[in-house]
Structure 1
Amino acid sequence: MNGSSVDGSTARLEELLDSWREWTLPLRTRPRVLGRIQSGRTNCNYRLRAPGLSEDLLLRVNHPNPVRLGIDREQERRILSLTADAAIGRPFLHWDPGQRFVIFPWLPGRVWTPADLASPDQRARLWPLLKRCHRIVPAGPRRSYHGYLCHYWGQLAQAGEVDGTLQRAWREFEPRLRTFDQAAWPARLVHHDLIPDNIIDTGDRLYLIDWEYAAPGHPDIDLWSVDRAAVREPFVIEMMEWINGLWERLIRTS
């Protein structure tokens, strides 16, 4: 990363912090950055000391081009309210009208590791949250996985990031993806990105965070993230390999 990129990121962060009077929080003075949180690949996260509040805050600086990654910020906002009410996720404290950033309460815990996700004891703590999540049926249409992946595919093709081998695999996969989309499976609230980094353990309870890819979808996708043996729809396993594979290619071109 060159110096101008660093300066640009710093200037953007300072600009967001300068808006603290608009956050509708009882802050006495401008918050102070305690450090950047070294996790997450879509956004940038910072821990803030917040004069006037008894606890620290988390500032999430949003990805500048969410549509490119298939993120709907207004849908995320609605889902965050639903998951906070269901005691699954944390609430947001301030939502920037310009969609540049979000302020969350700081959760005093640790993020899970792959070892946590592989542990039967830890999974036993996680399953009840997923059950509560999958009982929620948000308003709006269910996700079209065909449309979602075609959105990724079109951007990669335009950027010249598709070779002959991948094209042949896509031509074989795409009709089956369309058929899956047209099947009559029941849509539920699905996180869609249930990696260890998105599970916070405070000791007393678990929180699922980073709901920006969430939508009404196929609940087996969250099962795939936790325990592939629990997946009941075999096509989900293949589809998730495509979603993650194209996302990795796309994020490298962002």
Structure 2
Amino acid sequence: MTAIDQAITRACSLPCWTDPQDAEPLGGGITNINITLSDQGKKYVVRLGQDIPEHSVLRFNELAISRAAEAAGISPRIHYSEPGALVLEYVESRAMVEEDLHDHQTLISVAKLIRDVHTNVTDIVRGPIVTFWVFHVVRDYAAFLKENGSVHIPKLQALLDEASALERSVGKIDLVLGHNDLLPANILQAEDRLWLVDWEYGGFNSPLFDLGGVATNCSLPEEAEHLLLKTYFGADPDPALLRSYNAMKCGSLLRETMWSMVSEITSEIDFDYGAYTAENLSRYERAITNIFPQRGLK
């Protein structure tokens, strides 16, 4: 039995169903296996996944933030949950791609959605919630990669030195509840609104991490980045904000790169993590060279 077959069997066996039908995999996930199915005329998404300690993914945290995002009207309604499984109502929509956010009106809508997350979900979320500080994540990933004999060990010290310089450049931050994984595929475009899904990396962070994540994951040009920041903050960004933002943007790319390096070792999902590492490392190197042209950071 394949991993997908096992996932479908698990999804259909959950006690929340009367007569589950039409179960099939939902593509796109590179951390979890997602299954869609129907029951009593309604369609659902079943997210299957255990805690992932090497990525600091804790399902109690994901559930708490998903509940808050539902209450804020940002994420679909939770139908059922148990350890290792989260069932959401299916919403008719399509996952965004990079090019969608190159449209200025769409980008403005996404900037407002991010601001709503940081304002409303922060106020609603209950219970203990993790802190997602990207530079701690990077240091933790580096230690894991060394302990597990990664092929990327020769690169790590230079990346850690750069991470320290970026952390200093970010400076003092505001603290909000962030999504922290703003890939375009996690933003769903319905007929009349946007939804934001997949909260497994959610936690308290700087708002600049989500903003920088959108920019890097969607390859936004400088003009679009300016619009993103202006819409979010309600004013043109000043030089201090731009310096902090650009450093956090590099931190976002470095984290995505090292996430993939770790996943090369640990993940059992059928995905080319090696190519994903190379793609993100290239993006990171271009971005940090724009900030520190000499790359000999002090």
Q: Normalising TM by the smaller chain, what interval?
A: 0.7 to 0.9
Choose from 201, 224, 237 the match for 2:249.
237
Runs (5+) with no aligned partner, structure 2? 216-224, 230-240, 267-298
1:198 and 2:186 correspond: yes
Whole-angstrom distance in 1 between the partners of 2:257 and 2:45: 30
1:252 and 2:264 correspond: yes
Choose from 92, 95, 119 the match for 1:135.
119
- CA distance 1:129–1:112, change in 2 (3 Å): same
Q: What residue identity is the alignment partner of 2:14?
A: S
The residue that corresponds to 1:19 in the other structure is: 14
CA drift at 1:92: 1.5
The residue that corresponds to 1:28 in the other structure is: 18
The residue that corresponds to 1:123 in the other structure is: 107
1:158 and 2:170 correspond: no
Choose from 57, 66, 70 the match for 1:71.
57
Whole-angstrom distance in 1 between the partners of 2:133 and 2:106: 32
- CA distance 1:88–1:143, change in 2 (3 Å): same
The superposition leaves residues 43-63 of structure 1 with CA deviations (integer Å, 9 ceiling, x where unpaired) of 11111021x2x321111111x
The question of whether the paired residues in 2 share the 8 Å contact of 1:145 and 1:177 is answered with: no
1:219 and 2:203 correspond: no
The question of whether the paired residues in 2 share the 8 Å contact of 1:47 and 1:59 is answered with: yes
- CA distance 1:87–1:119, change in 2 (3 Å): same
Q: What residue identity is the alignment partner of 1:10?
A: D
Q: CA RMSD in A?
A: 2.4
SS in 1 for 2:200: coil
SS in 1 for 2:42: coil
The residue that corresponds to 2:275 in the other structure is: none
CA drift at 1:205: 0.7
The superposition leaves residues 205-234 of structure 1 with CA deviations (integer Å, 9 ceiling, x where unpaired) of 110000111111010111113344437323
The residue that corresponds to 1:109 in the other structure is: 93
CA drift at 1:17: 2.0
Q: If the length of structure 1 is used for normalisation, what is the TM-score? A: 0.83
The residue that corresponds to 1:210 in the other structure is: 198
Structure number with the higher helix fraction is 2
- CA distance 1:212–1:141, change in 2 (3 Å): closer
Whole-angstrom distance in 1 between the partners of 2:110 and 2:249: 20
Whole-angstrom distance in 2 between the partners of 1:178 and 1:122: 30
Q: If the length of structure 2 is used for normalisation, what is the TM-score? A: 0.72
Q: What residue identity is the alignment partner of 2:202?
A: A
CA drift at 1:173: 2.6
Choose from 15, 23, 46 the match for 1:59.
46
1:147 and 2:147 correspond: no
SS in 2 for 1:93: strand
Deviates more, 1:213-222 or 1:150-159: 150-159
CA drift at 1:89: 1.3
Whole-angstrom distance in 2 between the partners of 1:175 and 1:43: 31
Whole-angstrom distance in 1 between the partners of 2:184 and 2:153: 34
The question of whether the paired residues in 2 share the 8 Å contact of 1:40 and 1:197 is answered with: no
CA drift at 1:250: 1.1
The question of whether the paired residues in 2 share the 8 Å contact of 1:90 and 1:207 is answered with: yes
State the number of aligned residues. Answer: 237
Whole-angstrom distance in 1 between the partners of 2:153 and 2:186: 35
Runs (5+) with no aligned partner, structure 1? none
